[in-house]
Structure 1
Amino acid sequence: IDQALLDATINKVRGRADVHMPAITETNVDKLREIVRHERRVELAYEGIRLWDIFRWQIADKVLVGKIWGAPYPNAAKYSSSKEIDPTGKCRWYVGKRSFRAPQDYIWPVPLSEQNINPNLRED
């Protein structure tokens, strides 16, 4: 990746008047990937796209694992009776544990609606 390609793609979007973002000059592919992934995480956080990025980039087995904690709620009765203690000390209650198993959790069945429109699967 060179600066000309960045200017023709990513920086073209970032340079729009309504965006006001500085140009990217990083041409190292690994560092650039991290920059783009971070921006997508921040910019698209509440648009329902992050999960699909995680699946497409196949990083779910790294980021969708671990304990799940609820919102901080000091002096909550449920928190005080929990066997799990919030390591941050913010009095969050323990919800459960999330695990994502690679590679099987990346593979989903083909939806029946898609199977039905495939002429090679019809029993006419």
Structure 2
Amino acid sequence: MSDITQANAEAVLAAALGSARETGTAMNIAVVDTGGNLKAFTRMDGAWLGSIDISIKKARTARYFDMPTGSIGGLSQPGGPLFNIEVSNGGLITFPGGIPLQDSNGTVIGAIGVRGSTVENDHTVASAGAAVQLQDAA
């Protein structure tokens, strides 16, 4: 099974940090591996303490279901096919800011989760990290 390398995790984190600085927001940014385990994390100066856990859970949610957390949110509304899914797996986050990370072959090798501002800013910063061209493991 392919897994995100430390170098790739750091590149994703750096791109997300750059985007957060551009938006003028203080973010918590988490990168998880294929198993949903924390691989890289940063809490920018002034980022909300309560959002540390949310950023990690967003990354795990995106990895567990290999889809953006905002997409899961759309399916988890009352009457939806995934209603109440956020109470599974020790707690999931179903609003934007979590995105799966893929290698050059399109294989999911981890995910990024971001929290610290509006969901629109969270998604923008996560998207910047997810847009990084990841290098294949040696």
Using structure 2 for the length normalisation, give the TM-score: 0.23
- When Rg is computed on C-alpha atoms for both structures, the one with the higher figure is 1
* Greater relative CO, 1 or 2 (CA 8 Å, sep 6+): 2
Which one has the bigger strand percentage?
Answer: 2
